[in-house]
Homo-oligomer: A and B are copies of this chain.
Amino acid sequence: MKDSKQILLDHKVSITNPRILVIEALLENNNPLTVDELQIKLKKKVAKSTLYRVLNDLKKINILNEFTNPENATVVELLLEDDSHHHHLFCSDCGEIIDIQMGDEFEKTLSKEIKRIEKKFNFSIEDHRLELFGKCTDLCKNCS
């Protein structure tokens, strides 16, 4: 597992206990967590206001991805590798969120389409996000 102190050092921000705890809680999980799940994992070790501040700090140094689940709750995940481009799969039964990688053919076709859209709307497109919604049938630990 990555070293949380080193991550903070690498990004030239000061090394504090709350930041270390938040990063470690996120590192322990392979998949994204809602803010309240994170809060529960941290018990009372980090104040609520500090948690939100730390999350904003991590966003500023670009190692935190933030989005919302279908219930509009805020979800966060650490982004440590530069090449970790991925998408998300949501289970509407248990709420689990799974990181997924799309195949090369898909990403290539998407790139082509993005170029078309850029021309059509005179946009410069910098990022994209794909979300898949469904139900896990048996894999997911929370579902029967």
**Chain A contact residues, CB within 8 Å of chain B:** 68, 72, 74, 89, 91-92, 98, 100, 102-103, 105-106, 109-110, 112-114, 116-118, 121-139
Contact = CB atoms under 8 A, between A and B. Distances in A.
A94 to B, nearest CB: 11
A134 B105 CA distance: 23
Given A91-B123, A123-B139, 18 more contacts: A68-B72, A72-B74, A89-B123, A89-B125, A92-B126, A109-B109, A109-B110, A118-B134, A121-B136, A122-B138, A122-B139, A123-B134, A123-B137, A124-B135, A125-B132, A125-B134, A126-B134, A126-B135
Nearest to A105: B109
B116 A136 contact: no
Contacts of A68: 68, 72
Contacts of A131: 128-131
A81 B77 CA distance: 36
Contact of A134 (B91, B124, B133, B139): B124
A35 to B, nearest CB: 12
Contacts of A116: 103
A1 to B, nearest CB: 24
Contact of A132 (B91, B103, B109, B128): B128
Residue of A98, A130, A131, A132 ringed by the most chain B CB atoms within 10 A? A132
